[in-house]
Structure 1
């Protein structure tokens, strides 16, 4: 199969053959075709398999090492897609555009994440700043202000995916940030919460 890929590429390979090839490199000296077919039958597609949680993969009988390798194609594809996206061409004027921008990050299994979207006067996206899991907005005012000024942003949106805190707590943090940035004439448009199958605007909820 390796020779087939070298000579003809992957266009004519079935999904189970691609998965079989990937498994071969992490499970040597074993016929990986049966496992590849079993995993595809269980998860439904390569995409669903690569986005499955560690718990789901363990329940399917996979070791941590195999589970980690199966996530690589999706992570690489996502990184390449983001790298080649021209931010200046992305406009975030409404909720539909926001959902489209975050795309795969809203598919289950959804993981906790906080991002700040820095915008110009026409709501073109200048930069996305993703906070680390333990980084709090309330402790990052100076850093956020510096980055907003660096890209000459005039506004921003805070986005929480699968938030672990209540809307009231997140709104309080956001109000503190908006107050800190007020002297810079930088406007906070909204705080958006995305969950598994739901979305909420704290602006529309009148929490800001």
Structure 2
């Protein structure tokens, strides 16, 4: 057995040295992040920084690497369902909450970049927000962005959620909500959890029904964005609108 096993328990002096090394690692990593930002750390190190607050006195590097191996990327870890995260040894409710706070902050940051701004001239920010809000969801969700007559975003709402490959959408409800908000136009957004943003036949048919219903009351549908992993499809760009 090595020192530290039951036959050779670690001395208080050695335990103190280990604790000092761990504390020093945390401070060095924080300092590197402060100096160089996200470009100065690897994904597992960024995840360590998130875990530091939830696990104050333990080496979290192995857990960070395990989470990345299990889920695939930093974003996938943050977006993973609570139940899946807690299947990983070492992940407590506190750890899960810390991750969900970071995920929510990222979505809120992206949302604030477009809310009350002219959306059609902030298209890159709009796409960033749509990806942050929907790309890593495990089930389909259908969102509507409501714009005023100057194309300023006045509201962003999740209209429906569905299954892994289908979301029921009712054109009447879409139009009703647009009228309640006094919106002049809308942008439709939904995600494909499979990662492939190619519109399905039901996606196209549903969009055509919404365009027809909205047009009947003078509301324009600017676009329908389908969000996948790292990519998106625009109905307008495909000539479907």
Question: Which bracket does the TM-score occupy, shorter chain normalised?
Answer: 0.5 to 0.7
Which structure's relative contact order is higher, taking Cα pairs within 8 Å and 6+ residues apart? Answer: 1
Unaligned 5+ runs, structure 1: 1-10, 25-31
1:74 aligns with 2:98: no
Q: CA–CA distance in 1 between the matches of 2:239 and 2:112?
A: 37
1:53 aligns with 2:49: no
Structure showing greater Rg? 2
1:167 aligns with 2:234: no
1:52-201 correspondence runs (5 A): 52-54=79-81, 57=85, 60-62=88-90, 65=93, 68-78=96-106, 81=109, 87-93=115-121, 95-105=123-133, 112-134=140-162, 136-138=168-170, 141-162=171-192, 166-201=199-234
Q: CA–CA distance in 2 between the matches of 1:98 and 1:85?
A: 8
Q: CA–CA distance in 1 between the matches of 2:239 and 2:122?
A: 17
Unaligned 5+ runs, structure 2: 1-26, 31-45, 69-73
Using the TM superposition, give the Cα deviation of residue 136 of structure 1 relative to its aligned residue in structure 2, in angstroms: 1.9
TM-score, normalising length from structure 2? 0.60
> Which shows bigger deviation, 148-157 or 50-59?
50-59
TM-score, normalising length from structure 1? 0.67
The change in CA–CA distance for 1:178 and 1:196 in structure 2 (over 3 A counts) is same
RMSD: 3.8
Query: Of 33, 52, 63, which aligns to 1:39?
Result: 63
The change in CA–CA distance for 1:95 and 1:81 in structure 2 (over 3 A counts) is closer
Using the TM superposition, give the Cα deviation of residue 43 of structure 1 relative to its aligned residue in structure 2, in angstroms: 5.2
Using the TM superposition, give the Cα deviation of residue 82 of structure 1 relative to its aligned residue in structure 2, in angstroms: 7.0
Q: CA–CA distance in 1 between the matches of 2:112 and 2:87?
A: 35
Q: CA–CA distance in 2 between the matches of 1:93 and 1:86?
A: 10
Q: Which residue of 2 aligns with 1:29?
A: none
Q: Which residue of 2 aligns with 1:28?
A: none
